[in-house]
Amino acid sequence: MKLKHIYLLLMIIGSLVPLFYLVKFVMNNGPDIELLIEQLFVNDISTFFGLDVIISALVTIVFILFESKRLNMKSGIYSLFGMLIGVSFCLPLFLYLREVHRSKKL
């Protein structure tokens, strides 16, 4: 299996698993952003995970911006729209696009 196919698989998993729980939350509570944030930081362990994801998102954005520029990869910037789904979708999407870009350069 090629690396780009692994990234595609991780992208699918990284979108479906988190979105399942987001949809479940919205079905039970409606689009209540205040409640979502309240529950995200309800205790120490949920705060740990919440802040870890937020910081990982910032690191991913910086990485994508600089790596896209370094490789002169215009499609890389578009992968940032994947952040609307989540870090677990956005990062594998960028890594997939980077592999495609690199294979064209060879």
Domain-wise residue ranges, the chain = 3-105
> How high is the pLDDT of residue 87?
97
Rounded to 10 deg, the angle between the 87-105 and 3-29 helix axes is: 160
CB atoms inside a 10 Å sphere around CB 21: 9
CB atoms inside a 10 Å sphere around CB 90: 24
Mean pLDDT of 2-14: 97
> How high is the pLDDT of residue 24?
98
32-89 confidence digits (pLDDT tens)? 999 999 999 999 999 999 999 999 999 999 999 999 999 999 888 899 999 999 999 9
Report the SS3 class of residue 106: coil
